[in-house]
């Protein structure tokens, strides 16, 4: 199977190198500044191991000739990713802020509920005290409003 594909791979590689030469470009570069085997293999449509095995000699020779080109496409992708990360980070930050605000709002509302509950309790207590005092006044004639 490998042998059958070998001529196809070779042809594809030759065409790719010819295109690079024609365009005056070098082999693509990875983050570390070396040739990007994966990218080359992708462009040629085979696995990167092909460049290490079957086409290794040819590839090293061509590398000497046309060299590598600066971080062209890699750089774009990373930019893109960085931008995306930036956006996501901003979104996350906004969401965090929103969450913080909601948490604050929630705690404020909880405090309000507690205050209102305390108020209701106080009013109920006052009403109960007033009712008791009024009943007491109707029975004993004495004023028992403890203010």
Partner 1 sequence: MIDCTKTIQINSVWPGKFGGAVFTGKPLNAKKHLTCRASWKVLAQAPKTGEFWEVHGRLVTDDIYGKQLIVERCHLKQLPSPMFLLDYLSKSPRFRGFYFGAKKTRQLISTVGSESLLIELLNGDRWQDLGDVINPGIAKRLCQKWREAQNEIETITFLVEHGFDAEISRRLIRLCQENTVERLKNNPYHLLAFGGISKNIWKTVDTCGRNLNFPLDDSRRLVGAIEHVMYQRLREGHTAATEHEVLDMAARILRTDNRAAMALKLALKEQAICITDLYGERLYQAVGPAYIEHSLERRLERLVGGAMQGCLFEITPESASRIVFEYSKGIWQELGYELTVDQRSAVEMALTNRCSVITGYGGTGKTTVLRSVVELSVANHRRVYCMALSGKAKERISESTGQSATTIHAFINAALKVTKGEDTWVDLDCDPLIVIDEASMVDVSLFNRLLAVFDERSFSLLTVGDDAQLSPVGFGLAWHRMIGTTIPTIKLSKVYRQAEESALHRAAMGIRDGNCEELPMWQGEEEGVFFVPANTETLKQTIYQLKEKIPGAQVLTPHVSDRMPDSAIALNKLLQKSLDHGEDDYERPGFRVGRYFLRVGDPVIVTENNYELGLFNGTMGRMLELKSNDGELEGVFEFDSKDENESLSVQDCYDIGLSLAYAISIHKSQGSEFDKTIMTTTVASKLVERSMIYTGLTRSKRLCLLVGDKSIYQKAVTSPTRAATLRVGFSLQ
Q: Is 146 an interacting residue with respect to partner 1 (CB under 8 A)?
A: yes
Burial 117-142 (b: 16+ CB within 10 A, else e): eeeeeeeeeeeeeeeebeeeeeeeee
Q: Which is nearer to partner 1, 56 or 107 (CB)?
A: 107
CA–CA separation, 112 and 15 (whole Å): 75
Q: Is 119 an interacting residue with respect to partner 1 (CB under 8 A)?
A: no
Q: Is 99 an interacting residue with respect to partner 1 (CB under 8 A)?
A: no
CA angle 12, 14, 15 (to 5 degrees): 65
Q: Minimum CB separation from partner 1 for residue 92, in Å? A: 29
Give alpha helix (H) positions in the chain: 2-23, 37-44, 49-52, 56-66, 73-140
Q: Is 114 an interacting residue with respect to partner 1 (CB under 8 A)?
A: yes
**Stretch touching partner 1 by CB under 8 A, among 23-31, 43-51, 98-106, 139-147:** 139-147
Q: Which is nearer to partner 1, 1 or 138 (CB)?
A: 138
Q: Is 133 an interacting residue with respect to partner 1 (CB under 8 A)?
A: yes
Q: Is 128 an interacting residue with respect to partner 1 (CB under 8 A)?
A: yes
CA–CA separation, 95 and 98 (whole Å): 5
Contacts with partner 1 by CB under 8 A lie at: 114, 125, 128-129, 132-133, 136-147
């Amino acid at each position: 199977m490998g042998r059958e594909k070998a001529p196809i791979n070779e042809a594809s590689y030759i065409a790719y190198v010819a295109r690079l030469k024609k365009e005056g470009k070098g082999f693509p570069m990875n983050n570390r500044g070396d040739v990007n085997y994966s990218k080359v293999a992708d462009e040629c449509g085979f696995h990167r191991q092909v460049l290490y095995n079957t086409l290794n000699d040819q590839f090293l020779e061509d590398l000497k000739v046309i060299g590598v080109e600066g971080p062209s496409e890699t750089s774009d992708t990373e930019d893109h990713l960085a931008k995306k990360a930036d956006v996501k980070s901003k979104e996350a930050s906004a969401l965090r802020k929103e969450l913080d605000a909601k948490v604050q709002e929630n705690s404020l509302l909880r405090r309000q509920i507690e205050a209102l509950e305390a108020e209701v309790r106080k009013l109920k207590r006052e009403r109960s005290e007033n009712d008791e005092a009024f009943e007491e006044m109707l029975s004993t004639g004495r004023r028992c409003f403890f203010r």
